[in-house]
Amino acid sequence: MFSYHCLNPIAQVGLDVFSTDYKKTDKLEDAQAVLVRSASMHDLALPEGLLAVARAGAGVNNIPLEKCAEKGIVVFNTPGANANGVKELVFAGMLLAARDIVGGIRWVEEHQSEEEIGKLAEKAKKAFAGTEIAGKKLGVIGLGAIGVQVANAATHLGMDVYGYDPYISVQAAWNLSRSVKHINSLDEIYKACDFITIHVPLMDATRKMIDKSAIQAMKKDVIILNFARDALVDEQAVLDGIAAGKIRRYVSDFANPTTAGKEGVILMPHLGASTAEAEDNCAMMAVQEIADFMENGNITHSVNYPDCQVGVCRTQGRVTIMHRNNKGVIAQYTKILGDANINIADMFNKTRGDYAYAVLDIDAPVSDGIVAQLDAIDDVIRVRVVK
């Protein structure tokens, strides 16, 4: 029996994916797995028995990844599960920025009591005229699950699409429309594109990547869309660009004091993945990731340990070992099993930065004594008997 805890409300359709081998606990200290959405885990005391954390969403800034890795806790996210919801909102943002729809709606609200509102509207509507997006150049920075969907859909709307991602995955490349121009330089996007939308993770290398110098390289009247993370953009530099007439609109899904209510800014209250469908998809994927890890030791979409898909165990036993990526560790744990006359029928070992993950399918079950020996190896973080 496995126990799990929800730090945020998780869609029931996702929790229903759990089999009867799982029970929900209201106490974090009793949980082997945690499901989370936006709750911050940085100040939480992580229980010794915690094995996995699954974020029902893509961003993991609310989770202490290094702390979890050091304790042998695998952190999952659910990339792509909310991609369609974010993609649709990006296009809503483009249309709101290209045409002053919000201004027009406010005008109608302000004049709702006018008997001749229809006639007045015909005269007033010129003030809210905008431009179409067909025929415009769109730069998509980051071609992950969301970026690819945005780029592909934009081609069907008649846009000339430029895509930039030096680390594009094979799967994303296969899914990317042939009509999208794959660009190797951000400067080319800045100089050419009427719309620029950002879809990259927040890390040291991308923090405030849209800064004063980037804005200076952009076309006049550019529209910038940010549905990824607010810290990717130097928002004061954006406000300066709007004031200078360089930026036509800044559309963001992250309300904050810097940009709220400012001229030329369209802010939304983090609506990107807030659809019933996205929440359901994220919940189901998160639960599936946890269940496969707990039951089989497989890792899919981890952000702090290497992914591992070795299927269901067909031998007498399966042991997983999380360890630091140092030389000699593999030799130590294979020797312990060999000395115990336990044959390793199959073995997987993969590294990710400072950490490594090993799955050993063995021809005999391991005793508590063998587990203790494995756990005593200096660089071993956690040993788990899956079967």
Instruction: Annotate 338-364 with DSSP letters as a single string.
Output: HHTT--EEEEEEEEETTEEEEEEEESS
Question: What CATH number corresponds to the domain at position 209?
Answer: 3.40.50.720
The predicted structure's pLDDT at residue 317: 96
Per-residue pLDDT tens listing for the chain (387 residues): 999 999 999 999 999 999 999 999 999 999 999 999 999 999 999 999 999 999 998 889 899 999 999 999 999 999 889 899 999 999 999 999 999 999 999 999 999 999 999 999 999 999 999 999 999 999 999 999 999 999 999 999 999 999 999 988 888 889 999 999 999 999 999 999 999 999 998 889 999 999 999 999 999 999 999 999 999 999 999 999 999 999 999 999 999 999 999 999 999 999 988 899 999 999 999 999 999 999 999 999 999 999 999 999 999 999 999 999 999 999 999 999 999 999 999 999 999 999 999 999 999 999 999 999 999 999 999 999 999
d(CA 102, CA 112): 15
Looking at the structure, tell me whether residues 239 and 379 fall in a common domain: no
Question: Which pLDDT value is given to residue 274?
Answer: 85
pLDDT of 58: 82
Give the other-Cβ count within 10 Å of 221's Cβ: 12
Q: Regarding beta strands 195-198 and 137-141, do their DSSP bridges make them parallel or antiparallel, or are they unpaired?
A: parallel
Residues 35 and 62 in one domain: yes
Same domain, 90 and 213: yes
- Specify the DSSP element, H or E, that contains 273: none
If one counts the domains in the chain, the total is 3
What integer pLDDT is reported at residue 340 of this predicted model? Answer: 95
255 Ramachandran zone, left/alpha/beta (phi>0; psi -120 to 50): beta
Tell whether 262 and 176 lie within a shared domain: yes
Sheet of strand 317-324: strand arrangement: 344-352, 355-362, 317-324, 380-385
- Regarding whether 235 and 291 lie in a shared domain, the answer is no
Residue 297, both tokens: 């030791």
- C-alpha torsion 155→301→205→150, nearest 10: 10
Last residue of a domain, one of 241, 267, 293: 267
Predicted TM-score (pTM) of the model is 0.79
Judge if 226 and 205 occupy the same domain.
yes
In a domain, 294, yes or no: yes
- Is the domain of 14 the same as that of 55? yes
Which of 286, 303, 320 is where one domain is finished?
303
Q: What is the pLDDT of residue 262?
A: 96
* 281 and 378 fall within a common domain: no
**Amino acid 41: pLDDT:** 98
- Give CA–CA dist 150/86, Å, rounded: 9
Task: Report which DSSP code applies to 269.
Answer: S
Query: Is 139 within the bounds of a domain?
Result: yes
pLDDT of 162: 98
* Spatial contact of 268 and 252, defined as CB atoms under 8 Å apart: yes
Q: What is the distance between the alpha carbons of residues 365 and 313, in angstroms, rounded to a whole number? A: 12
Q: Are residues 33 and 57 in the same domain?
A: yes
How far apart are the C-alpha atoms of 111 and 118, rounded to whole Å?
Answer: 10
The reply to whether 280 and 261 lie within a common domain is no
The rounded distance, in Å, linking the Cα atoms of 93 and 97 is 6
Domain range spanning residue 74? 1-82+275-303
377: DSSP letter: S
> Does any domain span residue 331?
yes
Both 152 and 163 in one domain: the answer is yes
CA dist list (Å): 258 to 59, 104, 237, 309, 334: 22, 25, 11, 44, 56
Q: Hey, how many other C-beta atoms are within 10 angstroms of the C-beta on 171? A: 12
